[in-house]
Every structure is written in C-alpha cells, then in structure tokens.
Structure 1
Amino acid sequence: MTRPPRLNLRTTAQIIKQSSVSFISNFYTFLFLSLLLLSFKTAVETGTLVVTAFIDRDPSLKSLLSRLDLAGKNVKSSSENFRFPSIGGGGGGNRRRNRPFLHLTRFGTLDDDFFSSEDDVFGFGRKSSSINSSFQVNLSNFFHSKLGFSELDKKQGIKFSLPEDVVKKNEQQQQQQQQQQEDEEEGEDRVQFAAKGIERDAAALFFLVGFLSAAYGWLILGYLVIQSCVLGVVFLVVANNHLGKESSFFGTILAGSQLGFRRLSGFILIRWAVRDALTQFLGLWFFGEIEDQYSFLKLFVRLKLMPFSITSPWIQGFEKQILDFQVVWFMLDTFVSFVFAVDSWVAIMNTGMSSKEVVKEGCYLISLMFNQAVVLKWFEAVLCGLSVRWVLSRIFGRLFGSFFQSVAEVYFMVVWLIYYFAARCKDINPDGRRFGRRDLQNFIHRLR
C-alpha cells in the first residue's frame, strides 16, 4: 500500500515533485480538463478571427464606421461640407431666402389677356407665356383724332419701351428666383436623404451592438462555467489523492464541477473584472490615439477578449504600440495572477469569507513562503507565456502550441493547490494547531 503524499512541504523542489506525481497519477482526468480549456480558447480565438475578418470584408460595416467617425477626425470637415438650409433669417450656411410677396415681373400686352397672368404679377413663380421688352396700351377709344393722333395710332395703340437695364434686371431676378427654388428643393432632398441614412445607420448599429453584446454575454457565462468546473475538479482530485481515496472519473467530474460552481463563481467574476479593467486601461493608454476606425474596432475586439484567452492584439501597422502594450500587459498580468495565485483554494476552503477577506488571506499565505511562490510564478510565466507558445507553434503548429499551454495551465493549478496546502501547514491556527490531513478529510466529508 502506497503512502499518501505529504502536505507539509517546504522547498520549491518538493512542491514541483509532488505536483508532478499528482498530475501523472491522474493524467486522464487532467488531460480532459486541458482539452476543455483548449476547446474554449480555440472557440475564442476563432470567433476573434471571424469578427475581425467581418470588419475587413463587409462593405456596409465600413460605410457605417465611416459615418460614425469613431476617431472624430472628420467632424469639422463634414460640418463644413454639409449644411442644412435654414428657414428665415437664420445663421450662416446656405440660407433659405424668402421671396417677397410682391415683386416686379415682365408680362405681355393687354391684348394677350392681362388678367390671365396675375400669378406672374404677384410673384408666385409662374412664367409668362411670352416675354417682351415692351408693353402696348390701346387708347383708340380714349384719344380723339383732334388731339393729333393718326388713325394708325388709334388702331395700333401707343407703344412705351422699357429701358434696357430694367429688362436685364428683371431677367436676373427671375433667374435668381428659379435658382433659389432649385436650391430649396435640393436642400429638402438632402434632409430626407440624411434622415433615411441616419435610420439605416441606427438600425445597423443597433444590430451590431446587440449581436456583440449577446455574444460577449455568452462568452462570460462560458468562461465562468468552465473555469469554475476545472478548478473544482482539480481541487477534488488532488484532495482525494492526498487522502488516498479513489473515485470514478465521471463521479469526480460531476462532484468537482458542482463544488467549483458553488464556491468559485463570484471569485472568478471578480478576477475577470480586474483583468478586463487592466486590459482596457492599457489599451486606452497605448491605442487611444489611433484614428483608423477599422483598426480601432479590431483592436477593441481583441482587447475585450484578452482576459479570456492569452492572445496578442496583432494588427498590422501598429507594431510599435502593440509590442509596448504586450510587454507592459504581461508584467502587470503576471503580478495580478501572483496576487490571486491561491485565492481560488482559499475561497473553496472558507465559505464564510468575503472577497476582500479571501484576497487578504491569499496574500498572507504567499508571504509565508514568499521565495517559493516567486520561483513557482516565474516557472508559470515562462511555460504558460506567449514565448513558449510561439516557439512550439512555429515548430509543431498552432494547435499544438495552444494544447501545450492548456496542459501547463492545469499543471500549475495543481502546483498552486499543493503550495496552498504547504502554506496552510506552516501557519499556526488561533488554537495552536496546524493544518493537517484530518482538516482536509473533514472538509471532504462535509461536502458529502
């Protein structure tokens, strides 16, 4: 009969050795968990590529982005190029001028039906049937031949000719009135076209935001469920291994998933929120000056998905900003993960603690074996980081690199759990006792 593993480990080598033994002895269970993480990461990265490809190829989305002008660089020019016509005596721009109610027009002779052209007289915009430079008044019934008018004058009437400058002025006024009417009609068409464009853009924007929000909500839910289940199963497997208990594969998966989802859901949401806030802050710091709408949107999508899967927001044309972002983000994310290294196991073992108390207890346990914790975090940062994944992807393919990273993540879950047991064994309880196998056994017994 094999002797159960020790809990009170002191050195980094002992922790790594015990973690490797536990991992190998339950290899198939941990392999299943690794495949579960791999499937989630693959789905996240595939969805990211699909969304970014859609942004590049969809012409309607490009038109929408150009109208929205996320960068704000065309606000001034667009406001200068397109102005709505104002009514009355408003401000600048192309004003809509009101025509006077009465204005001078040209009309034909009285013999051409004077009263049929009253619309022209009062300036309602109708053109006369004939445009003449003079008008004729027949006074044959008024003047008598004794006044010196001939019979020809009495029959044909007396002609009065308008000056040439008056005729030209009247023609210019009619052309200006016609041009103003065309401008008003064109302005109304622009307003209607702009209103229809705003409606189409609003519908397209609503659909895009709704689709991305729904997909992001399902992504958060999937991340919460998978992380809770994986951590719960890892805890139950390692605890049973230390107690020398055996259980079926499906029984362990079911019980561990229930334990993790019941005890770790809130803590995982807090950890995700911290990483998301950190990522968005760094993204605003390094990419806030980008004016290209398409690149900005693709970077935004990548940054929102980084807390779920370690993937670089690689967009061509911004290599310098992306490299700086990756270096700073890797350092800060490593520090945040170091603070939260054992908090998952603290949350499982202590149901009555608040989130603040869980973080405080985790930092205290790390301080008890600080040197060992720093070395373990350094190993984790190297094996689970982008550099090793990039090298393995270049040699064996992208899928193998992602698979190795998933296996390494599950392995270091085991490492930090054994570190947690070792730190608890080093700590002295208020009643003077140390954490031991009996405490772990009592906890497993209470779960049933």
Structure 2
Amino acid sequence: MLKIRKPGIRTVWDGSKFFSRNMALLILVKWAVGDVLAQLLRLVFFGVVGDKSLSMKIFIWSKFMGFSLVFPGVEEFEMEFYCFSAVWFLLDMLMSVILTVVVWVVMSDSEKPLEEVFKEGWRLLKLMDMIAVHLKLLEVNFCGYFAKIILTRNFGILFALVVQSIMEAYFLVAWNLYYFSLKSIDANANGVPFGRRELEAMVKDVK
C-alpha cells in the first residue's frame, strides 16, 4: 500500500485538474481518429450511393457511430450496414485497447509529450497484446450496449445499471493490474526492479 490519504473534495479537485490537463486531449484524439475511420468506411461501403438525401442520411449516421448503434433503416443497403458496423466494431475495439494503455501511460508520466505517450503505449501493448484484446472483449461483453439491453429486458434498468457499474469498476482495476504487469515485464527485461518505489514515482504527479 502506498498509504496516500487525501480528503474526498481534494481528490475530486485533483482528478478534475488532471482530467482537463491530460485526459481531455486523448478523448478528442479518439473522437477525431474514430471519425476519420468512420468516413473511410463510409466511402468503402457506400461510395456508390446516388441518392443525395440517402447519402446525407448515411453521412450523418456515420458521424455518430461512436455514440449510437441505431441503423438508418435503409433496406436496400442492409447488408452494407451490417458489414460497416462489424468492421467499425473491430477497429473501435483496437483503438480502445491502444488508448486504454495510453491512458495509463499518461497517468504514470503526465510530463511526456503526446507523441512519446503513444509510442510508449504501443511499445508496452506489444508485450501482451492478445491479453489486452481478450480483456477488451470481456469488457465489451459485460459493459457494452448489448449487455445492457439483455439485462434491462430480463431484470430491469436498475439491476442493469448496478451490475454494469460494478463490472466497470472491476475492469478499471483489471486494466490497472494489466498496466502494472506491462511495466514489470518491461523493467525486468531491462534489468531494473519494479516495486513500491516505482509505484510511488508513478503517482507522484497526481498526489
């Protein structure tokens, strides 16, 4: 245990400052990259749509891919919509895995430039990439939109919110342990010990 004790209000305030200084930029990067990917997929799967109104409808739908799973309801392109969504899901999951590790890099060393943060995150991710993919798949299955629908229909919205909140907290801890494992493997590979002293150094910026 690092035995760091702070009042609850101070913790919330420090967390807000840290978010505005570091996490907000990553969210913008994720949104921008996701939008570029969605528009490229739109050109691949719907580049031959001749109807301007239908093309605009698809364009607006693709703009909100990161926020909604509702199909536009165009029967003649139903298969394209499903293919688009499947490819988008895989790309979004890959991007989420990378950014999850990047977030922990930022939290452990907030002084690094964003370019170095992404390089460090990618380098660490390659140490245990398949474990990260499996962990993200489990997280999507338990905390995602479809799990919410199934739980809500069978047990009610309150039960679904409680279960998914608990699972989200669980996966937050799981990703934390995953990142510590990456740092330990990386440090041991370079002949450097990884223990309490290193953990204290990682949280020095957010005390």
TM bucket normalised to smaller = 0.7 to 0.9
The alpha-carbon deviation at position 317 of structure 1 amounts to: 2.5
2:42 touches 2:62 (CA, 8 Å); kept in 1? yes
Q: Deviations over 1:382-441 (max 9, x none)?
A: 223443233234335678767765664454333212211221122227984233222332
Match of 2:74 in 1: 317
Distance 1:425 1:323 in 2: 41
2:151 touches 2:160 (CA, 8 Å); kept in 1? yes
Distance 2:48 2:157 in 1: 32
Over the residues paired in the alignment, what is the CA RMSD in angstroms? Answer: 3.1
Task: Give the TM-score normalised by the residue count of structure 2.
Answer: 0.79
Q: Deviations over 1:218-273 (max 9, x none)?
A: xxxxxxxxxxxxxxxxxxxxxxxxx2434333322221111122123333322221
1:343 touches 1:359 (CA, 8 Å); kept in 2? yes
Match of 2:103 in 1: 344
Q: Deviations over 1:145-173 (max 9, x none)?
A: xxxxxxxxxxxxxxxxxxxxxxxxxxxxx
Task: Give the TM-score normalised by the residue count of structure 1.
Answer: 0.40
The residue correspondences of 1:260-279 to structure 2 (distance < 5 A) are 260-279=19-38
2:108 touches 2:203 (CA, 8 Å); kept in 1? no
Distance 2:162 2:56 in 1: 29
Cα gap change, 1:312/1:402 in structure 2, threshold over 3 Å: closer, same or farther?
farther
What count of residue pairs does the alignment treat as equivalent?
205
Higher helix fraction (1 or 2): 2
Distance 1:275 1:386 in 2: 18
Match of 1:415 in 2: 174
SS at match of 2:121: helix
Q: Deviations over 1:178-226 (max 9, x none)?
A: xxxxxxxxxxxxxxxxxxxxxxxxxxxxxxxxxxxxxxxxxxxxxxxxx
Letter in 2 for 1:269: L
1:267 touches 1:347 (CA, 8 Å); kept in 2? no
Cα gap change, 1:430/1:383 in structure 2, threshold over 3 Å: closer, same or farther?
closer
Letter in 2 for 1:366: L
Match of 2:15 in 1: 256
Distance 2:62 2:117 in 1: 28
Distance 1:405 1:326 in 2: 23
Cα gap change, 1:277/1:411 in structure 2, threshold over 3 Å: closer, same or farther?
farther
The alpha-carbon deviation at position 353 of structure 1 amounts to: 2.7
Match of 1:286 in 2: 45
1:365 touches 1:423 (CA, 8 Å); kept in 2? yes
State which of 142, 150, 158 in structure 2 corresponds to 1:383: 142
Distance 2:51 2:165 in 1: 35
State which of 272, 295, 303 in structure 1 corresponds to 2:62: 303
Distance 2:166 2:55 in 1: 33
- Radius of gyration: which is bigger? 1
Match of 2:195 in 1: 436
Cα gap change, 1:432/1:259 in structure 2, threshold over 3 Å: closer, same or farther?
same
Distance 1:389 1:295 in 2: 30
Q: Deviations over 1:298-324 (max 9, x none)?
A: 4333321223x2x21412223322211
Unaligned 5+ residue runs, structure 1? Answer: 5-242
Identity value in percent: 36
Letter in 2 for 1:342: V
Cα gap change, 1:293/1:402 in structure 2, threshold over 3 Å: closer, same or farther?
farther
Letter in 2 for 1:341: T
1:260 touches 1:348 (CA, 8 Å); kept in 2? no
Letter in 2 for 1:421: F
Distance 2:176 2:89 in 1: 23
